[in-house]
Amino acid sequence: MYPATSGPTGPWAELTTDQLRKTVDAATLGFADTSELLHKPLPWIGQERAQQAAEFGMAMTEADYNLFVLGEVGSGRTTLLCQLMHAQAEHRPVPPDLCYLHNFDDPGRPRALRLKAGQGRVLRQSMLELAKRLQSEVPKRLAQDDYKAESKRIEATYKSEEDRGYLALSAYAEAHHFALMRDQGHMVFTLKDAQGEPVTAGKALTLSREQRAQIDESEEALRAEISRYLEKTRALERVMNEGLSALRRQTLKPMLVHEMQSISHALGQPVTDKVKLAAFLEQVQQCVLDNVELFEPSEEEDVRLEALASVLSLFRVNVVVDNHGLQGAPVLVEDNPLFRMLFGSIEYAADEGELVTDFSRIRAGSLLKAHGGFLMLHLRDLLADPHVWEKLRRFMRNGRLQIEEPGMMYAPMAAESLEPEAVAVDVKLVLVASVDEYYAVQEADPEFARRFRCKVDFAESFAATAASAEATAIFVGHTCHKRQLPHFSAQAVAALIEETHREADDQHRQSAIFARLEALVIESAARARQQGKATVALADVQGAKQARLHRHNYPEQRLQETLLDGERLLRVSGDQVAQVNGLTVVDLGDYRFGFPVRVTACTYAGEEGLLNIEREVELSGPIHDKGVLILHSYLSALFAHLAPLAMNAAVVFEQEYSGVEGDSASCAEFYALLSSLSGMPLKQGIAVTGAVNQHGELLPVGGINEKIEGFFRSCENLGLDGHQGVLMPRRNCRHLMLDERVVEAVAAGRFHIHVADTAAEGMVLLTGVKFGTLGVGGYEVDSVLGRAQKTLQRFRHACEHLGNKPTLKPNHLRHLKHSVLR
């Protein structure tokens, strides 16, 4: 598979151009441009596992089978789940409306009423029309002749009985020498003398004690008679009022019953909660009968009209969820899950220094609106508000939603309390999160996590097949159609597919982060449209990629310029002892690029072991420190027959001040150390990347394409001589998706990509000398390890000469972090 180049001790391989990147033949795609693919549905590209899990979760009707969707941003998780939710919702019944009604028994606890879809607005309109009709019909019924005649008869009967009682009382008063009269509802009596004249205060003083005592006795008796008269009058008045009330009921009841029946008939279909609706309508009737006087004109007309409007407002219907015209179940995506947006709210208004509200100010949130359907939320949004999180936990536990306004306890003025009736909500929640957020919830709140038993895991990449290539083309076609962009030719789509391989850093897999591909589609289409093209061609895709590179690569350009200016030291030709070019990746978030860095080592006699300078100054991360410890272990194993080693060694990344992280430079560090020990110079034109394990095997590393391209650009700037190249692990071959400029240079023999399985093979390439095989007396004298062995023996003799016996000491390395090295 790889053309072997034989060294003094064994082969390493140099890659050919067809191994440097995955190419897609446009002719195999089977279409001229993507407009031919619009009839095909948009598939779940490379997400078969996630699709099966999502369909399973959507179909489950049991409790706690909500969906937890995890994956990277841009993987299409939101778009695909919304697409599936809408597809599932089409086959579900339309959920009922939800209304809130005035509670005549307890106004602070409005009642909830479920009605079939569309019945809510019908009931609301019917009650509004009822209020209007009552204002005209009730006075009209009370103005009828038969009602007036009967009302006058009842009042006349009362008046007759009252007058008869008053005459008897007046006669009693006259017999006891008192004059009696009525004054604005009060009884006033005056004592008279024998001549029938009122007894004044002066006359009263002339009376004897016996006469005054008799008058007092007569006055008490009269007061008792007046009390009996008033009690009898009140009883008669009650009878009259009851009679008038019965007359009003008799007069208005048929009309009210007819109105309520009309409302029920207007609803048409059978009512879901018939008992609750009937109770409400019955209370409306009673309220009308209890407040009939407000329907009749009075002297204080403004006060009456205000009171009547207040009573009629109790008949309104607050339709908080109106599913009229909805086809299937509701599908909601709540991107702003504030407390009131998610759970509903109660609005308040200021009235004379007090916050007031009523049932008509209740508002539904996304959860109520999504009843019977689907609601998508993002976990990060929920975690941002502890009140929202706690309320959602309670809802998930009992399935009932209580609308409340939690901030009212901190209101600057007094407020009315309102506690709407809690309602059961049946909703399928789809919670979108990253992988880290998902497992954080699993650990921190297992009770909440168990309500989401369906895990939908979106992959970051997928195996590349002919089917996946076709699916990618369909995605491009649908994107063009949705955004009204010109369609892509087959050659342009082939370039886009190759870009997905580059994003995945894999010749056999494609990236599933389609947001990046969509952005490239938009930018390529914009270039084609600017040039008046009807179809996006390959050149437009390449131009868009180049333009994007130019927008983002200024930091890389400045670093490359430091090489030309001599600020950074880098040799790309010749040989040098204890010095090798390593490869790093700088990740800026929106752009990453490779850049070479010089790795140097220094060894001398001592007993301190290996010193990692980056760690000593806290400029390295734990993974890099681990790699240094592993290479130290491998180095010690190579010379175990000489243990304990009498060596001090230091390794450093030259001119690196931002910190390093990752173990992909451990192989380069090993070569620099071994070169220092052996005195063998290393080729400076070959940069090295790769991690080494304790057995000397080269392990694959990340960012391989950026590393190779970064060194290639440096060589271009400093001068390509045809001998430069990169040494990398053989296991990284499948990850190569190199820029075409690098491939062209390799094809022309101006640049070379070498691969090796072991550090030994790479050392042979860098030095041109065999690595060495351990024998009875050690390594061969003319090998790299033999020369290093000789140096180590010299170090031991030096230490013994100074009286310092070598001892095994721990490698004292400290810690830090960065992200330039992968």
pLDDT for 92-108, tens place per residue? Answer: 999 999 999 999 999 99
**Neighbour-count burial for 704-713, b at 16+ CB within 10 Å, e otherwise:** bbbbbbbbbb
Is pLDDT of 459 > 90? yes
- Cis bond leading into 8, ω under 30°? no
The distance from CA 36 to its chain's CA centroid, rounded to whole angstroms, is: 36
Contacts of 456 (CB under 8 A, 6+ apart): 50, 53, 54, 57, 67, 68, 69, 70, 77, 81
The pLDDT of residue 776: 83
Q: Copy the structure tokens of residue 150.
A: 């009967």
Going from the C-alpha of 335 to that of each of 307, 384, 435, 440, the distances in angstroms are: 43, 13, 20, 21
Q: Flag the least confident range among 205-214, 269-278, 637-646, 664-673.
A: 205-214
Neighbours of 4 (CB within 10 A): 11
Residue 780 Cα distances to 9, 632, 645, 775, angstroms: 12, 22, 19, 8
Look at residue 355 and tell me whether its pLDDT is greater than 50: yes
Q: Which of 120, 142, 377, 123 is nearest to 252 (CA)?
A: 142
E strand spans, 368-427: 374-378, 400-401, 414-415, 423-424
Residue 406 predicted with pLDDT over 60: yes
Q: Evaluate if residue 815 carries a pLDDT over 70.
A: no
In order of 1, 5, 721, 782, the CA distances from 16 in angstroms are: 9, 12, 19, 32
Tell me, what's the pLDDT at 339? 93
Q: How confident is residue 6, by pLDDT bands cut at 50, 70 and 90?
A: very low
pLDDT of residue 405: 81
Which pLDDT does position 183 carry in this prediction? 66
What pLDDT score does 351 carry? 77
Mean pLDDT of 709-713: 97
Please tell me the predicted confidence (pLDDT) of residue 660: 63
Query: Over 90: is that where the pLDDT of 489 sits?
Result: yes
Residue with tokens 């992280």: 661
First to last CA, the chain: 27
% residues pLDDT > 90 (the chain): 59
pLDDT at 610: 65
pLDDT at 428: 96
Average pLDDT over residues 503-525: 95
Residue 814 has pLDDT above 70, yes or no: no
pLDDT tens track for 185-220: 667 777 666 656 666 666 666 666 776 677 777 777
pLDDT in tens, 272-296: 788 999 999 999 999 998 888 888 8
What distance in Å separates the CA atoms of residue 440 and residue 437, rounded to the nearest whole number?
5
